[in-house]
Amino acid sequence: MASAKPQTATANPEAGPRWAIESKGLNLWYGTFQALRDVDLQIKHGIVTSLIGPSGCGKSTFLRSCNRINERLGYVSTTGTIQVLGQDIYGPDISPIQVRRQVGMVFQRPNPLPLSIRENVLFGQHIHRDDRIPRAEADQLVERALREVLLWDRVKDRLGRKATSLSLEEQQKLCIARLLPMRPEILLMDEPCSALDPEATRAVEELIWELRGKYSILIVTHNMAQARRASDECVFMLLGRVIEHARTEDMFVTPKKPETADYIEGRFG
Amino acid sequence: MSGLDNRFLRTPREQRSLTQQSLFRLLFLVMTSLLVVPVFGILLVLIVRGGPGLSLDFFLDKPRKGMTAGGIFPALIGTLWLTSGALLLAFPLGVSAAIYLSEYARDNWLTRTINIAIVNLAGVPSIVHALFGVGAFVLFLDFGASILAASCTLAVMTLPVVIVATRESLQAVPHSFREACWSMGATRWQTIWRLVLPNSGSGILTGVILCISRAVGETAPIMFTGAVYWVAYTPEGVFDQTMALSLHLYNVSTQVPNVPPGLPFSVALTLIGVVLVMNATAIAFRMRLRGRKRW
């Protein structure tokens, strides 16, 4: 649970990596603009951690560094390290493709592929497997993934329909579902609810809470209330730096830094 | 307080603006209408003067009596050869280049140079392409004056437009789809093959056909590279020379004495017909495949 303080508690290093994600001295530049400055963060296993801060503070950049999707831009340079599940993902032998496969990502606008619902869920299998997936196995994968995101009962009769015909809420859930057959341990979510109405937001938040425990979830949000409702820990970033990282209830009740207090009370941002 | 009673009435100033607006609307309407005049004018003249000359014989017969009688069969077939040749060359080259530029290339000096080259290539006059074709294909590569050399020249000429049209179709596929693909660990090629091409195929085909249909009417690039005034046979291979509709039109209009006045119009009408058929094919493609667009 979030209340544990594992910094000192994890005595046995053989018990697996201590952190889901750990960055050390992470600096990142887009061309000459420095978006991240000496970011040291430890994200715990199995909980929901939210990243908050004003626009341009680097929270999405950090998120996008955790599955190396940033590199696609081509003009990004990085120093420092990010360890995911104990491995430096910027290490020399690391395949970004395997990183992206095992660190799932959900985007701001639901972006289901222009395929059927079923094919969306199976897409990861298609790109990562050489053999044809047997029909029964595929059915099972689809059902399990859609059940996990609480979508199965609503779409089981129309799996062949285009994913883009779903409502935004369902699309966003589908975007989460299509990650699950690749068995990620970490889910990154970049403002997953900002394109949704309040009702859909509530539904997706409930889903995130449902997935908590099975996955380590890192979520960027603009919505302070959401961070407060739906995360165990909270990281406040400002101008590329981590200002404060604490349990969510602590940060919102007794922020330690004046900048954090200013931000969560709405004095800027 | 009189102002209160007529607060919603039209003011003189507003009246002036409205008059101005109608005047400009009229001006733009007239300009737009002027635009269609040449199109219908050309078609009308061609149909009235060239239409009577058309017949099955005209399409299937050789030119006779020093080009003043007979039909246009060798030229029609020659144009099909040249155009298909240009299409076969320009399509794979242009589409590959567009895929590279749109999906792989990063914004660096090489990409910028290539883009500038494409833009400039599109602006090169066709007669310059013709001379390039003579130098590069006829002489240097030793194709001789042949269908191959002429098709190559046409292909080079249409390439920039093919590349631009294809690139636009590729870029029309939303970036968020690519991001979704990449974030699941797809390679660029998997993304292109499974996502980008299926969703831009119709646009690419349409664009390419439209570009190539313009090559049908070109005269300059082929007249030194493979098209000839008259041959007694239809081509049997790419190293043959051939007649072509556009060059034939030029010849019967300006080079041959005592041509019956309707003949050039009939040839021109046929030429336009070929272009229209190609464009109609493109439109049919677009309509058939647009239904499958999925976002």
CATH number of the CATH domain containing A48: 3.40.50.300
Alpha carbon of A113: minimum distance to chain B alpha carbons (Å): 6
When the pLDDT of each residue in chain A is averaged and rounded to a whole number, the result is 86
Write the residue in B180, B185, B187 that is nearest to A113 by C-beta.
B180
**Does A157 fall in a domain?**
no
**Does A147 fall in a domain?**
no
**Does A179 fall in a domain?**
no
Distance separating alpha carbons of residues A157 and B272, to the nearest angstrom: 52
Give the chain B residue whose CA is nearest to the CA of A105: B183
* Residue B31: per-residue pLDDT: 93
A45-64 confidence digits (pLDDT tens): 889 999 998 888 888 999 99
* Residue B4: per-residue pLDDT: 62
What domain range includes position A221?
Answer: 17-111+186-264
* Residue B277: per-residue pLDDT: 87
* Residue B198: per-residue pLDDT: 86
Q: To the nearest 10°, report the CA torsion of A220, A223, A228, A230.
A: -60
- What separation in angstroms does the CA of B163 have from each of A216, B96, B291? 45, 8, 24
pLDDT band (50, 70, 90) for residue A9 = very low
CB contact under 8 A, A101 and B190: no
Is it the case that residue A15 has pLDDT exceeding 80?
no
Is it the case that residue A216 has pLDDT exceeding 60?
yes
**Does A154 fall in a domain?**
no
Confirm if B155 and B248 have CB atoms less than 8 A apart: no
Least confident of A27-31, A162-166, A210-214, B69-73: B69-73
> Which tokens is A109 given?
């606008």
Mind listing the pLDDT tens digit of every residue in chain B (295 residues)?
555 677 888 888 889 999 999 999 999 999 999 988 988 998 898 898 888 878 877 777 777 777 777 778 888 888 888 888 888 898 899 999 999 998 888 878 888 998 888 888 888 888 888 888 888 888 888 887 788 888 899 888 888 888 988 998 898 888 888 888 888 888 889 999 988 988 888 888 888 888 878 888 888 888 888 777 777 777 777 777 788 888 888 888 888 787 788 888 888 898 888 888 888 888 887 777 765 555 5
Total number of domains constituting chain A: 1
**Does A238 fall in a domain?**
yes
* Residue B21: per-residue pLDDT: 93
* Residue A3: per-residue pLDDT: 43
Confirm if B190 and A127 have CB atoms less than 8 A apart: yes
Beta strands (DSSP E) in chain A are: 21-30, 33-43, 48-52, 76-84, 87-88, 103-106, 186-190, 216-220, 233-238, 241-247
Better-predicted residue by pLDDT, A156 or B289 = A156
* Residue B276: per-residue pLDDT: 87
A68-96 confidence digits (pLDDT tens): 888 777 788 889 999 998 889 888 888 88
Confirm if B222 and B149 have CB atoms less than 8 A apart: no
CB contact under 8 A, A128 and B106: no
DSSP strand pairing (A48-52 vs A233-238)? parallel
**Does A97 fall in a domain?**
yes
* Residue A222: per-residue pLDDT: 85
Give the chain A residue whose CA is nearest to the CA of B185: A97
Is it the case that residue A8 has pLDDT exceeding 60?
no
Alpha carbon of B286: minimum distance to chain A alpha carbons (Å): 18
Confirm if A48 and A208 have CB atoms less than 8 A apart: yes
Mean pLDDT for A99-106 is 90
Instruction: Report the percent of chain A where pLDDT is more than 90.
Output: 30
Q: What is the DSSP string of A29-72?
A: EETTEEEEEEEEEEE-TTSEEEEE-STTSSHHHHHHHTTT-GGG
* Residue A11: per-residue pLDDT: 41
* B195 CB within 8 Å of a chain A CB: yes
Distance separating alpha carbons of residues B31 and A70, to the nearest angstrom: 50
∠ CA A36-A42-A47 to the nearest 5 degrees?
120
A196-214 confidence digits (pLDDT tens): 888 899 999 999 998 988 8
Give the chain A residue whose CA is nearest to the CA of B104: A72
Contacts of A72 in chain B (CB under 8 A): 179, 182
> Which tokens is B115 given?
């883009």
CB contact under 8 A, A100 and B294: no
Best probe of the B interface among A63, A70, A72, A116, by most B CBs < 10 A, is A72
Write the residue in A72, A74, A182 that is nearest to B184 by C-beta.
A182
* B294 CB within 8 Å of a chain A CB: yes
